Amino acid sequence: MGPVRGLKKRKKVEKKVDQNVLAASLGPEPEPLDWWDGFSQRITGPLLQSKKMKFESVFKISRKTFSYICSLVKEDMMAKASNFVDLNGKPLSLNDQVAVALRRLSAGESLSSIGDSFKMNQSTVSQLTWRFVESMEERGLHHLHWPSTETEMEEIKSKFEKIRGLPNCCGAIDTTHIMMTLPTMDPSSDVWLDHEKNCSMILQAIVDPEMRFRNVITGWPGSLNDDIVLRSSGFFKLCGEGKMLNGKKMVLPEGTELGEYIVGDAGFPLLPWLLTPYRGKHLPDFQAEYNKRLFATKMVAQRALARLKEMWKIIHGVMWKPDKHKLPRIILVCCILHNIVIDMEDEMQDELPLSHHHDTGYHQLNSESVDKSALILREKLSLQLSGKLPK
């Protein structure tokens, strides 16, 4: 995972979760099976219409995933349980607390709206959500990691190649703008205004074929372009030092070595380890064919970011927007939750629309940075994909 500005460096945790071990570790439900029946009866306001609906309709995840999330944060959330009560003075259970936090992150509603719906003070909702965010940063971080073994990376390469035939591809990169608010008198306001004149923060993500986030960086002002954000990341530095994307190389028919790489759009620099599309109209057939394959492959990153914003509306700028100090950590936790839903094979994700529009209204800013060796490599790969590379 890439650095998140404002997030303290934490102790390394286990990186891979085996599904069988995961299922066995969950143990019994943290609450009685009728918890939802009782909790749903306390809902008021606009959410009242959901009382006859299923749990999944309110939280957009399955009970299995919910129980697993509860097991991750149980120790932290229940450390001072007596501090959290509803308006009637009733102590909030673990499930109550996690439900409130997840609803706020997924609905993007204000403190007052969530408080009214669940009969709690705004301060209780705020404290619960922030404690949940702090806990998930540490307890769930192992769900967001770069492939740690050759076997894992080879599986990713194989799945990418099955999309449209790009060999040795390890990821797709994209960025999106997260809407935010600033005090009107903040002297740094201008730097947060992006090229569409919105106040935003950048999220850069590298995604695997299953739309799982493998590396993220956030916290940078919306005024920065994709090229600058990438060059400011730890991922860029590690790739430049040969410490990332340094696995098996493949040899094209005429002898050119193709190392590991990721794919991105024209907003990123063309590098030996980051392949971007050809630009211009009336391209030769082999270049147009390469572009089609690249666009189809990098679509997984666009869809992942669209799904992230659709499912966790707190970062979609709907009704309420976090400030610049808390937003990077909230974005990170939403990315972790996104991955958990995938890792748990949650059937609810199949019911969500699969869009690739995550920055509606934004036009493409192109990077003019080109590595000469990457130009040659891209040309050779394009010819190879079209069957025109001499053997």
Q: Which residues pair with 172 in a beta bridge?
A: 207, 263
What is the domain range of residue 307? 146-325+348-385
Distance, in Å, from the CA atom of 264 to the CA atom of 326, rounded to the nearest integer, reads 28
Residues 83 and 61 in one domain: yes
Average pLDDT, the chain: 86
The band of 367, judged by pLDDT with boundaries at 50, 70 and 90, is very high
Please say if the pLDDT value at position 207 is more than 90. yes
Residue 66 confidence class, pLDDT cut points 50, 70, 90: very high
In a domain, 12, yes or no: no
Give 161 or 315, the one with higher predicted confidence.
161
**Which strand (E) or helix (H) includes residue 261?**
strand 261-263
Looking at 142, 161, 193, the residue that finishes a domain is 142
Spell out the residues 6+ positions from residue 237 whose beta carbon is closer than 8 angstroms to its own: none
Kindly state whether residue 310 falls inside one of the protein's structural domains.
yes
- Confidence class for position 24, pLDDT limits 50, 70, 90: very low
- Residue 375 inside a domain? The answer is yes
Q: Which residue has the tokens 């025109």?
A: 388
Residues 109 and 173 in one domain: no
Nearest by Cα to 54 from 390, 389, 355, 351: 351
Domain boundary among 88, 113, 142: 142
Residue 5 lies in a domain: no
Token pair for 62: 């399955």
Kindly provide the b/e burial profile for residues 133-171, where b requires at least 16 CB atoms within 10 angstroms of the residue's own CB.
Answer: bebbbebbbbbbbbbeeeeebeebbeebeebbebebbbb
- pLDDT tens digits for range 87-120: 888 889 999 999 999 999 998 888 888 898 888 9
Residues 179 and 268 both lie in one domain: yes
pLDDT in tens, 128-149: 999 999 999 999 999 999 999 9
Percent pLDDT > 70 in the chain is: 85
> Do residues 111 and 221 share a domain?
no
pLDDT in tens, 357-366: 888 878 888 9
Residues 31 and 138 in one domain: yes
pLDDT at residue 356 is higher than 70: yes
Please report whether residue 131 resides in a domain.
yes
Which residue blocks in 27-149 are alpha helix, DSSP H? 35-41, 55-59, 63-77, 94-107, 111-118, 122-139
Q: Tokens standing for 346? A: 């949650």
Same domain, 127 and 31: yes
Over the stretch 270-284, which tens digit does the pLDDT of each residue have?
Answer: 999 999 999 999 999
Write down the pTM of the prediction.
Answer: 0.88
Residue 103 tokens read as 């609803």
Does 116 share its domain with 236?
Answer: no
233 and 302 together in one domain:
yes
Of 107, 126, 142, the residue at which a domain comes to its end is: 142
Number of domains composing the chain: 2
More confident residue, 101 or 16: 101
Do residues 243 and 269 share a domain?
yes
Which has the minimum average pLDDT: 56-70, 89-103, 122-136, 172-186?
A: 172-186
Decide if 309 is inside a domain: yes
Residue 336 included in any domain: no
Q: Do residues 83 and 129 share a domain? A: yes
Structure confidence at residue 105 (pLDDT): 94
**Same domain, yes or no: 153 and 286:** yes
pLDDT of residue 176: 95
In a domain, 50, yes or no: yes
User: What's the DSSP call for residue 271?
Assistant: B
Same-domain status, 239 and 313? yes
Q: Does pLDDT of 375 surpass 90?
A: yes
3-state helix, strand, coil in the chain (%, to 5): 50, 10, 40
Residues 143 and 342: beta-carbon distance below 8 Å: no
Q: How confident is the model at residue 321, as a pLDDT?
A: 57
pLDDT of residue 8: 47
